[in-house]
Structure 1
Amino acid sequence: MTTQRVSTTVPLDWKQVWFTNCPMVSANNVDQELGWCREEYKKIGVEYAYFRHAPENNWYPHYIHNLDNLIRFGGLYPPIQVNADIRRTVLLGATWVYEGGVMQVRARDKIFRVQDLKGKKIGLTKSLNTIKNDWWRIQEHMGILNILKLHDMTIDDVEIVEFPYADDWYDKPEMLVPPMNNPSELWMRRDHKRDYAFRPLEKALLAGTVDAIYNQMGQLGQLSEATGEIKSIFDLSRLPDWTIQVANTPAVITCTDVMAKEHPELVVAYMKAMIKVGRWANRNKAAAAEILNRQTFYLDAEHTYEGIKHVDMVPSLSAQNLECIRIGKDFMFEHGYIKNDFDVAEWAAPEFLEKAAIEVLEEEWERRSWSKLPAGGGLDVEGTRLG
């Protein structure tokens, strides 16, 4: 018997801002341990908390953004679907991690090249949960096609084997109570580095049901390789072409259009914290790696450091980030994962990041200059040039 899944939320209160994130490299995943975003909201009399802190909120707002006062920092594909087909949101920033994905086979199989997969079976998941976006499948689908194309192959050269699965951990009682104060509590419960829910096709590969699987990113691939039973035969991240690295990345920040229009100060407060935390993480990569290791899929803190040492942790809406987002959105539209197309440039709202950056600069100047200038150091003259 199928359980009826529904999304539940707390009543809207603009004196509260909820956040949610994915287990990815992002300033928000660092801040959940630093608490700097909470400080920014305290300055304006607003409570800031993880959305699962309230028992009335189940997991689905993370995917369908049905809380007006929620800010999300996480994987690319769910917010694309939300903006295309569910409700209008605003794109506030992005963090790009150059990771790609890997094609993997059993360690002792006589398969050494992608061309050896001709006529072989490649797994592809299919979520039966109709509420949430099927982001696992999208990234697998995209990665498989990219790797085949790079080796002058098409989907017709292999056999795709679908694996429907319930995708229902969101509704399990032990994942709904008690309320969580911090996303790290989720990953402590899930033991995510060993949880096969995050590597759903690995058992099928080891059982011989398929001959190859695509793993989303180098992090997950290396966890699979650490078992001694699986090897990678191709790694997209080893290539110079960044346009084929999109795999539910970059991680993006989104809020509802309601929040952006009616309460822009709440958006700016969040973005100020993300700039501050991102700058701190850039200066202290080893410390940031210790924090991120609790949530991401790297092997350990040292491996996390290697993964983030060249990453700019300050979110941006750079031309490259926006183009990566377009690539992901176009794939979803062309392959039927979203019903409606939209313009990424219109989705993006750089004014919030710009205003936040100005306020961070003003606050920093005030702190640095107050003891050196007789009448304060506020930047209150428009057009004044510093330096």
Structure 2
Amino acid sequence: MSVTAQPSRQDDFAKSFSVSELWYTRCPVPTASGIALDLGLLRDEFAKSGIGLRSIRDSDDPRVNISHFDHSLPGLFREGGNIPAIWARSEGRDTVVVALTWIDEFQAILVRPDSGIVSLSDLRHRKIGLPLQRGQRVDFARAMALRGIDSSLALGGLSLDDVELVDVTSEQRSFAASSGVANGRFHELESDALLHGEVDAIYVKGAPGLGTARGRGLRILLDLADQADPLLRVNNGNPRPVTVDRRTALERPDLVARYLAVLLGAADWASNHPEGVFSIIGHEVGRSADEARAAYGENAHRHFGLDLSEIRRQGLASQKDFLLRHGFISRDFDVESWIDPAPLKLAHELLHES
């Protein structure tokens, strides 16, 4: 796949500021970026213009590595969980959302098989494990679990006030040293606490979460992925924003559009190659292709598309409000003004022209 702006338009944009290097980062979860990178599409697209494309994981500079969370690196494209992206914007990082993706995943409340808990209402006055990871600018694992717990309790007519939240503390490794949620230890401490009777229920997600349930013999009380209303499935992974710093979006929309056009092309490829997609997802999350298929659904390969639809915008705003309400971010901001639709519109034009 190749996308190139018309020469006159390209020349006009290039007068703004020249770019010789771009950075990217994505979470180890199903993303259009992961598909495009695995296929070499992003590398090939920007190599035509002599622009290097680098992963922040490849840098030895911790200030570069931490940009995955604080988005402090100019020229950085990020597709991943919305919690760090929302936190960075709340902290004043001048980023813009240029696209949103939505790939549903296993999101479950787990209990012990012998617990006697058979419905959500049985969680009243019970202990629910909540991860507490020190050493992070934003504890995305805690925020993610709390959102999943809160959403699940509401479906049972309960609230967070009806249960006892019990901290399960761990030390989070640095981003550069960690494989993130793909590592086999994700959810391990919470499931240990559950099996040892220290808590009565925990929240898990994705292929690692499904692996935890199956591997440790835990019972699924509820899978939020089964809920028909997409807003009930909102969490760190739904929707996932594609963000870039505002200066790059404003002064080099051609580069941002080319990046997005590659992701759109990768999503189109994915829709026609399910076996290849689940192999790529499995590698991303550290699981087999079959486990990836079970955790993200038989039709996950059809859901890599990028858009800025109203439901995805609502989901992003809902997540921001939740994080603000529970103290994960300290400053409010307007989600609509955070979104810049121009690069995605230009990306579709580039694909139409190519």
TM bucket by the smaller chain? 0.7 to 0.9
Give, in whole Å, the separation in 2 of the partners of 1:35 and 1:120.
49
Whether the aligned pair in 1 keeps the contact of 2:181 and 2:208 (CA below 8 Å) is no
Aligned twin of 2:70: 64
The counterpart of 2:288, out of the listed 292, 296, 300, is 300
Q: Secondary structure at the match of 1:127?
A: strand
Query: Residues 241-320 of structure 1: matches in 2 within 5 Å?
Result: 241-248=229-236, 249-296=238-285, 300-305=288-293, 307=296, 309-310=299-300, 311-320=302-311
Give, in whole Å, the separation in 1 of the partners of 2:293 and 2:205.
19
Whether the aligned pair in 1 keeps the contact of 2:101 and 2:241 (CA below 8 Å) is yes
Give, in whole Å, the separation in 1 of the partners of 2:27 and 2:182.
12
1:210 aligns with 2:224: no
Query: Residues 1-387 of structure 1: matches in 2 within 5 Å?
Result: 14-57=19-62, 59-99=65-105, 101-130=107-136, 132-170=137-175, 175=177, 187=179, 192=182, 195-217=184-206, 219-248=207-236, 249-296=238-285, 300-305=288-293, 307=296, 309-310=299-300, 311-363=302-354
Between the aligned residues of both structures, percent identity stands at: 27
Instruction: Give a deviation string over 1:293-326, Cα, whole Å, max 9, x none.
Output: 10126x5213434525154212111111111111
Give, in whole Å, the separation in 2 of the partners of 1:39 and 1:199.
39
Q: Secondary structure at the match of 1:201?
A: helix
Give, in whole Å, the separation in 1 of the partners of 2:211 and 2:291.
11
Whether the aligned pair in 2 keeps the contact of 1:84 and 1:342 (CA below 8 Å) is yes
C-alpha deviation, 1:223, in angstroms: 0.8
C-alpha deviation, 1:233, in angstroms: 0.8
Give, in whole Å, the separation in 2 of the partners of 1:204 and 1:326.
33
Higher helix share: 2
Q: For the structure 1 residues 199 and 270, does the alpha-carbon distance in structure 2 shift closer, same or farther, using more than 3 Å as the test? A: farther
Q: For the structure 1 residues 296 and 197, does the alpha-carbon distance in structure 2 shift closer, same or farther, using more than 3 Å as the test? A: closer
Give, in whole Å, the separation in 1 of the partners of 2:333 and 2:231.
20
Q: For the structure 1 residues 48 and 198, does the alpha-carbon distance in structure 2 shift closer, same or farther, using more than 3 Å as the test? A: farther
Aligned twin of 1:178: none
Paired AA for residue 16 in structure 1: E
Whether the aligned pair in 2 keeps the contact of 1:105 and 1:213 (CA below 8 Å) is yes
Paired AA for residue 280 in structure 2: I
Q: For the structure 1 residues 224 and 305, does the alpha-carbon distance in structure 2 shift closer, same or farther, using more than 3 Å as the test? A: closer
Instruction: Give a deviation string over 1:327-385, Cα, whole Å, max 9, x none.
Output: 1111111222112222222111111011111111111xxxxxxxxxxxxxxxxxxxxxx
Aligned twin of 2:11: none
Whether the aligned pair in 1 keeps the contact of 2:135 and 2:171 (CA below 8 Å) is yes
Instruction: Give a deviation string over 1:58-111, Cα, whole Å, max 9, x none.
Output: 531110011111110100111011111131101011111233621111123222
Instruction: Give a deviation string over 1:25-59, Cα, whole Å, max 9, x none.
Output: 21111122111111111122200121222322553
C-alpha deviation, 1:264, in angstroms: 2.3
Paired AA for residue 92 in structure 2: I
Give, in whole Å, the separation in 1 of the partners of 2:130 and 2:326.
14
Whether the aligned pair in 1 keeps the contact of 2:186 and 2:208 (CA below 8 Å) is no
Q: For the structure 1 residues 127 and 159, does the alpha-carbon distance in structure 2 shift closer, same or farther, using more than 3 Å as the test? A: same
C-alpha deviation, 1:191, in angstroms: 9.7
Instruction: Give a deviation string over 1:202-235, Cα, whole Å, max 9, x none.
Output: 1111122111111134x33321122142111111
Instruction: Give a deviation string over 1:140-170, Cα, whole Å, max 9, x none.
Output: 1111112112112222322111123221344
Give, in whole Å, the separation in 1 of the partners of 2:338 and 2:33.
21
Paired AA for residue 39 in structure 1: D
Give, in whole Å, the separation in 1 of the partners of 2:241 and 2:45.
20
Paired AA for residue 153 in structure 2: L
Q: Secondary structure at the match of 2:98?
A: strand
Give, in whole Å, the separation in 1 of the partners of 2:70 and 2:35.
24
Give, in whole Å, the separation in 1 of the partners of 2:247 and 2:181.
36
Give, in whole Å, the separation in 1 of the partners of 2:257 and 2:249.
9
Count matched residues. 332
